[in-house]
Amino acid sequence: MKNIINIIKYNFAKYNMGVGKVFYIIGLILILLVNISTFTRIPYVSEILSFINIGFVATFLAVNFITSIVIFYKQVSREEGRLIFTFPIKSWEFIMAKFIEFIIIQGGFAVIVYLFSLISANSVSSLVRLVSISTALGTIVAYIFIASFTVIFSSYFSNVVLVTLAVIFGGGFIQSIVEGVIWAVTRVFPYVYMRVGTLIEVDLIKTLLSLAWTGVLVYMAIYHLDKKLDII
C-alpha cells in the first residue's frame, strides 16, 4: 500500500505540473465559476448556465480521459517508462496506483459538480448530476479497460500505432464477445435489479459478471506487465 501511495504522489508531482497543472487549475476555476453562476434566480438563466455546465464538465472529463490514456501508455512503454522499469515496484502496485489516480481526478471533479447542483436546485440540476456522475463512471470504466488492453497488447507490439489499432479492434472484438456471453448468461437467470434513486436501475447479475470480467482483464494486464519486466 505504501508503494501505491508513493506512485500516486510521484505521478501527481511529475505529470500534474507545467501544462498539466495549468489545465487542472483552469478546469477547476471554470467549473467553480460556472456552477456558482447557476445560483442566480433570473428566469431561465440558471437553466441555460446549467446546460453550459453539462457541456463543460463532459468535455473536461473526456479530455482528461484521453490525456490520461496517453500518459499511461508512455509510462508502460520501454522508451519512456522510467517509473515502472527503474523503481523497485511491482506491476500490480503500478496499475492499481494509476487506476486510483484517475478515479481521484475524475471522481473529484464529478463530486464537485454534483454538490453544487444540489445547492443550485434548478429544473436542470438533476440532469447535471446524472451527466457528471455517469460521465465520470463511464470514463473510469473505459480507462480501466483500455489501460488493461494497452498493457496486454504492448507486450506483443512495440509500435504505438499497432498497439492503438490492437486496442481498438482487438480489444473491441474481445469485449464484444464477452458482452455477448454476459448477455446470454443473464437471459438464463431471472432479472434481479437494484434501484438507485428514481432514474437508475442496476442489473445485479450483469453487474457481477461484468465485475468478474474486469477482474480477469486487470489480472491479465498485471501478468503481462510482469512478463514485460522480466524481459527487460
Query: Per-residue pLDDT tens for 103-114?
Result: 998 998 888 888
Give pLDDT tens digits for 108-157. Answer: 888 888 888 777 766 777 888 888 889 999 999 999 999 999 999 988 88
Higher local confidence (pLDDT), 34 or 217: 217
- Dihedral (CA of 176, 181, 187, 193) sign: negative
DSSP result, 76-124: HSTTT-HHHHHSS--HHHHHHHHHHHHHHHHHHHHHHHHHHHHHH--TT
Higher local confidence (pLDDT), 144 or 71: 144
Lowest mean pLDDT among 36-50, 61-75, 166-180, 204-218: 36-50
Backbone dihedral region for residue 95 (phi beyond 0: left; psi -120 to 50: alpha; all else: beta): alpha
Cell of 225: 506487465
pLDDT at 232 over 50: no
Most confident of 4-8, 46-50, 69-73, 228-232: 69-73
Proportion of the chain above pLDDT 90, given as a percent: 32
pTM score, two decimals?
Answer: 0.85
> What's the total number of domains in the chain?
1
- For 201, the 3-state DSSP assignment is strand
Higher local confidence (pLDDT), 17 or 212: 212
d(CA 113, CA 58): 11
- For 16, the 3-state DSSP assignment is coil
Q: For residue 195, list its beta bridge partners.
A: 201
Proportion of the chain above pLDDT 70, given as a percent: 84
Q: What is the mean pLDDT of the chain?
A: 82
Residue range of the domain that includes 213: 2-231
d(CA 30, CA 9): 25
Higher local confidence (pLDDT), 38 or 230: 38
How far is CA 61 from its chain centroid? Answer: 9
